[in-house]
Amino acid sequence: MALDNTKSTGFTHVGTTPDRPDGVDKVTGRARFGADITAPGMLHAAIVRSPHAHARIKRIDTSKAEALAGVKGVVTRADFATGLTGENWNILENVMAGDTALYDGHAVAAVAATSSLIARDAAKLVVVEYEPLPHVTDVDKAMAADAPVIREGAADTSVPKGLHPNVVRYHESGHGDVEAGFAEADLVVEDHFKTEATHQGYIEPHACLGTLGGDGKGELWCCTQGHWNVQKICAALLGLETANLRVTASEIGGGFGGKTAVFIEPVALALARKTNKPVKLVMPRADVFKATGPTASTSMDIKIGMKKDGTITAAQGTFRLQGGAFPGAPCEFTAMCAFAPYALKNVRQVGYDVMSNRPKQAAYRAPGSPMAAFAVESVIDELCNRLDLDPIETRLKNASKKGTKASFGPTFDRIGLVETLEAAKAHPHYCAPLKPGQGRGISCGFWFNHGGETAVSLALSEDGTAQLAVGTPDIGGSRASMALMAAEELGIPYENIRVTIADTATLGYNEVSHGSRVTYASGLATIQAARDAVKKLCGRAAAKWGIPEDAVKWENGCAVPSGPNAGDFDPLPIAEITKRMGATGGPIVGHFEATPEGAGVSFATHIVDAEVDPETGKTSVVRYTVVQDAGKAIHPTYVEGQFQGGAAQGIGWALNEEYIYGEDGRLQNALFLDYRIPVASDLPMIDTVIVEVPNPGHPYGVRGVGETSICPPLAAIANAVSAAAGVRLRQLPMSPPRILEALEQQRNG
């Protein structure tokens, strides 16, 4: 998108750190999240879930449940639309099983009752007769010739002949001649890596409240990263007309990608339709683990060749991603991100999307990229160690920059990888002395970022304040960023802008809050909507003064005559214009509706010091520094928060978090006690450096920052562990038993 009037310095509001508009609501308990709403006559729902990893559903008997006092309705697959195809069918099949339960925790029926206790009791009275089938939960085993087939015919046309039917999509990309490249290398390192599935781990379970009358008109309140998407999917799954379902997004208690998907909302609506009453559905935590979006687990092979001077001559990666019982594991993202930080003459990457008897994977912060970075950056570290090269210098030597043909195809515009590496090298952390038993690790990371469909509206009030309606749920302070950008354009105080997350009936389609797109795309939309409003304000001033519209400019919240008319009239403040809006042409509203496509890619470099206890195998992260390119930090404190949050999630992924399946194919750790995310006492302070290399695709240079921060930690910590303990772990998480085993193997030679 060509951008007029871009600006990268001289900001008044942008770059300051005011309190967020919803701050008081969130520290007083007033903010309303998914489960915080009620409706008169409301019912409570509970979902019946499969205890089997894979089983044919022979019979569902709901009569005992229906007979329980207080039960108002039970739904099964028969209560949803038929004849769906493609992803809508996949989502329905995941939301409510058809003939077959495909994973432990797969929904098979749901009950609505007058209290949640009754609903839970009734769920236990639903009798489901299963015929267990052979199952598989490991990615490599799911690709093996003898693996049970999850579903025949699920593969698309990208899959080469001769692969197991569980391989459902295939990706291949790259350029040059990797074999020739490897022949030029002084050292080639080739290794195999595995990562386990992790969960986004948002603290707020999925929750919603739906009503749906016999007239086909419904209302839905839910915690989601994107309510237009919920609207579209629910309408399809229930056979409704989209516009007849109005969806309102609640405050959202974390998402990280996991709330881009739809799980319980269609079930609540189906029960509401059946009972003709509002139905509230809140997921128990165990269900969140069992049936909502973990990441893909992976199995990866990496081969990289390097010259003695550190030049990478060729790189090749094979990435197998297990994404549960449905197609969709982001194998192409993993493959495309893997070598993106490096300018490579010869590179080849292959990705496989593999089905297994696990829940349908969902996006998790830079989906697919952290695993690739773990494998690739571990191999680069190994090469640097063996060739006695400095890890940052080596990365600088090979770094992608403007004009580099990216490993995944396009040519990079202005990017900030080199700047993050230089900043990491200059950071006191990089040369700080280490204590005995400690090691330091470095890693780079990459994420594409995304634009997407965006609509906002900015309505001026008669007193010159502004109401900004955006369609992207505020996950971490985006209202503040939007208000800062609107204030910058309108020249009015930050406090004079009220930002609302509009419902689906109020704005055009907004893609979900994902892909680090909010500050970029909704921000760009806000700036353009404000400029649209300013144009209209200038028009009113021009009419009043009797001069041409283009002879009026906007300065510090006032219309000012310019050019030949400069100085002819006193500046006209915004409130003077809006006061007379009604008489001078009606309400003034600025709009923006488009699909911005200039989301600038983002790179990061992380430095971490780790200490490994050889007795217990426990790894402690003792120092952590995140360096990342934000393009332009609109609200720097919130940018830092994104950097720190991504690093912390990456630390959990690297050291503790994993989905543990038993031989029976059942998930063994579906609670926070056993699926242990980092707690306050596990972590050090997380230092941050914001690098600003402006994105040419945004008026102020913004790049999304939410996702890249989770890409480097897995490898950075693995590299630190290798330096600290002298053992390289190629499987995540690097939990104490795995570290002890590696140390034991090392001792035994």
Partner 1 sequence: MSKIHVTTTVNGDEVEFLCDPRETVLDVLRDRLGMTGTKEGCGTGDCGACSITLDGRLVCSCLVLGVEAEGREIATVEGIATGEDLHPLQQKFIEYAALQCGICTPGILVATKALLEKNPDPTETEVRYWLAGNLCRCTGYDKIIRAVMDTAADMREAS
Q: Is 637 in the site for partner 1 (CB under 8 A)?
A: yes
Per this entry, what is the length of the chain?
749
Nearer Cβ to ligand FES, position 642 or 708? 642
**Long-range contact set of residues 432-439: C-beta below 8 Å, sequence gap at least 24:** 432/609, 432/623, 434/609, 435/611, 437/611, 437/612, 437/614, 437/724, 438/609, 438/610, 438/611, 438/622, 438/724, 439/609, 439/610, 439/611, 439/612, 439/719, 439/720, 439/721, 439/722, 439/723, 439/724, 439/725
Q: Which amino acid is at 43?
A: L
CB of 632 to partner 1, least distance (A): 18
Q: Is 284 in the site for ligand FES (CB under 6 A)?
A: no
Please give the span between the terminal C-alpha atoms of the chain, in angstroms, as a whole number. 58
Question: Residue 743 belongs to what H/E stretch?
Answer: helix 736-747
Rounded (5°) CA angle 643-364-639 = 20
Q: Is 203 in the site for ligand FES (CB under 6 A)?
A: yes
Give dist(CA 569, CA 555) in Å, integer: 14
Q: Is 686 in the site for partner 1 (CB under 8 A)?
A: yes
Which one of residues 103, 193, 202, 352 is an interface residue with partner 1 (CB under 8 A)? 202
Q: Is 573 in the site for partner 1 (CB under 8 A)?
A: no
Q: Which does 282 bind (CB under 5 to 8 A by kind): partner 1, ligand FES, none?
A: partner 1
Nearer Cβ to partner 1, position 611 or 640? 640
Give dist(CA 673, CA 372) in Å, integer: 28
Q: Is 671 in the site for ligand FES (CB under 6 A)?
A: no
Q: CA dist 435 to 183, 432, 512, 724, 728, Å? A: 40, 10, 45, 10, 20
Cβ distance 109 to 62 under 8 Å? yes
Q: Is 24 in the site for partner 1 (CB under 8 A)?
A: yes
Q: Is 244 in the site for partner 1 (CB under 8 A)?
A: no
Half-sphere exposure of 175 (CA within 13 A, CB side): 15
Nearer Cβ to partner 1, position 17 or 461? 17
Give dist(CA 630, CA 643) in Å, integer: 10
The gap from C-alpha 476 to its chain's centroid, in whole angstroms, comes to: 12
Nearest residue to 736 (alpha-carbon basis) of 560, 631, 616, 603: 616
Nearer Cβ to partner 1, position 23 or 571? 23
CB of 622 to partner 1, least distance (A): 13
Of residues 101-120, those binding partner 1 (CB under 8 A):
115-117
CB of 263 to ligand FES, least distance (A): 19
Q: Is 557 in the site for partner 1 (CB under 8 A)?
A: no
Q: What is the phi/psi pair of residue 547, to 5°? A: -125, 165
CB of 342 to partner 1, least distance (A): 28
Q: Is 252 in the site for partner 1 (CB under 8 A)?
A: yes
Q: Is 180 in the site for ligand FES (CB under 6 A)?
A: no
Give dist(CA 499, CA 502) in Å, integer: 9
Which one of residues 32, 192, 386, 580 is an interface residue with partner 1 (CB under 8 A)? 32
Q: Is 254 in the site for ligand FES (CB under 6 A)?
A: yes
Q: Is 683 in the site for partner 1 (CB under 8 A)?
A: yes
Which one of residues 326, 374, 638, 653 is an interface residue with partner 1 (CB under 8 A)? 638
Which one of residues 79, 93, 204, 707 is an interface residue with partner 1 (CB under 8 A)? 204
Q: Which does 746 bind (CB under 5 to 8 A by kind): ligand FES, partner 1, none?
A: none
Q: Which does 680 bind (CB under 5 to 8 A by kind): ligand FES, partner 1, none?
A: partner 1
Which one of residues 293, 317, 476, 694 is an interface residue with partner 1 (CB under 8 A)? 476
Q: Is 636 in the site for ligand FES (CB under 6 A)?
A: no
The gap from C-alpha 608 to its chain's centroid, in whole angstroms, comes to: 23
Q: Is 351 helix (H, G, I), strand (E, B) or coil?
A: strand
CB of 264 to partner 1, least distance (A): 15
Q: Is 623 helix (H, G, I), strand (E, B) or coil?
A: strand
What dihedral angle (degrees, nearest 10) is formed by the CA atoms of 140, 146, 150, 152? 120
Give contact residues for partner 1 (rule: CB under 8 A). 17, 19-20, 22-24, 26-33, 35-36, 38, 115-117, 200-205, 251-256, 282, 284-285, 475-477, 637-638, 640-641, 644-645, 647-649, 671-673, 677-683, 685-686
Give contact residues for ligand FES (rule: CB under 6 A). 203, 254
